[in-house]
Amino acid sequence: MEEVKRAKPDGYTLMLGHVGTLAVNPALFGSKLPYDPNADFAPVTLIAKVPNIITISEKSQYKTLADLVADAKKNPGKINYGSAGNGSAGHLAMEYFSSEAGIDLVHVPYKGSGPMLTDLIGDQIQATFNGLPSLIGQFKGKALRPLATGSAERSKMLSNVPTISELGYKGFETSQWYGIIVPAGTPPAIIERLQKDIAKGLNSKEESKRMLEYGAVLIGDTPTQFSAFIKSEQARWAKVVEKAKISLD
C-alpha cells in the first residue's frame, strides 16, 4: 500500500486492495496506519466478493448454526474458533457474528489458514469463519462441513447452505472482497479506461473462470460505486472493532 501510494499516478501501477487493507486496517491501526485509504488512492472497481463461511469439522457434534449458538450460550468462553491471525478477515467476521448472536467464543489466532484448517479438521478447535476458496476443497473431501454463509445471498457453490441472515440474523453480511485501486491523482480518463477493461474481463466466462470456480461473485462496478462501498465497509468494521475491543498488541 505504501509503495503504491508513492507511485507515479499514470495508470501503470495498480493495487489489489481488499477488506483488510481498505476497511479493517483503518479501524485497527487508526493514526498509526502509514496510508489513508481514502485520500492516498483512487478506486477503480470492485472486482469480486468471496463468501465467508462458518465452518466446522465433519467430526463435530453440531448439525446446524443454531446448535453452535446454543452450546456457546450454555458454555460461554469455552468454545474455540480459529482464524488466519489477529486482525484477519476471519477474526473480524466471527467477532461480528458473536456480537450479533450474543455469544462469547475464544479466538485462537494461527499463522495462516493452513495450520488452522488442519486443527479444525481434527476437531481441536470447534469452528472458523473463513473465505470459501480455502474451504471448498475440504468440503468436497468431506473433511469440513459448512453451517452458514455470511454473504447476502446463498453461494452458487453451496446452494443448500443457508445465509446467516436467513437464519434469523436479519441484515447480517460479511464477505471477503477485492478491488483495484490506483494512486491518488491518476487522471479520470485513465481510471475510466481501466474500469471498462477490467469489467470486460469479468464479463468473459473464460477470463473469469478461475474466480468463479472458487465461488467468487464478480462485480466490476464504477469508481463512484466502489468508493461508496469502501466507505460503508469502513463504517461496518469500525463498529465491530470497537464493540469487540479488538487489539493487535
For 51-80, how does the pLDDT look when each residue is reduced to its tens digit (9 = 90+)? 999 999 999 999 999 999 999 999 999 999
According to the model, what pLDDT value does residue 249 have? Answer: 60
Over residues 185-203, mean pLDDT: 97
167 confidence band (pLDDT: 50, 70, 90):
very high
CA gap 243, 249 in Å, rounded = 17
Confidence at residue 18, expressed as pLDDT on a 0 to 100 scale:
96
| Whole-number pLDDT of residue 246 | 82
Residue type, 132: L
**How does residue 38 score in pLDDT terms, banded at 50, 70 and 90?**
very high
In this prediction, what percent of the chain has a pLDDT beyond 70? 100
Task: Write down all domains in the chain, each with its CATH number in brackets.
Answer: 2-49+174-243 (3.40.190.150), 53-148 (3.40.190.10)
Collapsing DSSP to helix, strand or coil, 156 comes out as helix
Instruction: Give me the helix-helix angle, 223-244 and 188-202, nearest 10°.
Output: 80
Q: Treating both helix axes as pointing N-terminal to C-terminal, what angle do 113-121 and 132-140 enclose, rounded to 10 degrees?
A: 30
- Residue range 14-36: average pLDDT? 95
The predicted model gives 156-179 an average pLDDT of 96
pLDDT: which is higher, 89 or 194: 194
Which candidate, 11, 4, 3, places its Cα nearest to that of 197? 11
What is the arithmetic mean of pLDDT over 133-159? 95
The pLDDT of residue 220: 97
Residues 6+ apart with CB under 8 A from 87: 20, 24, 25, 28, 246, 248
Residues 6+ apart with CB under 8 A from 91: 83, 84, 85, 107, 109, 246
User: How far is residue 11 CA from its own chain's centroid?
Assistant: 27
How far apart CA 208 and CA 191 sit, in angstroms, is: 21
Whole-prediction pTM: 0.91
81-136: per-residue pLDDT in tens? 999 999 899 999 999 999 999 999 999 999 999 999 999 999 999 999 999 999 99
> Mind giving me the DSSP string for 58-101?
TT-S--SHHHHHHHHHHSTT--EEEESSTT-HHHHHHHHHHHHH
CB 174 within 8 A of CB 163: no
> Which residue has cell 465452518?
55
Go through the chain and tell me how many residues it has. 249
State the pLDDT at residue 117. 97
Burial of 225: CB neighbours in 10 Å, binned 0-12, 13-18, 19+ = middle
pLDDT of 248 reads 73
User: What average pLDDT does the structure give for the chain?
Assistant: 95
Neighbours of 217 (CB within 10 A): 17
Strand 41-57, strand 175-183: pairing: antiparallel
3-class SS at 184?
coil
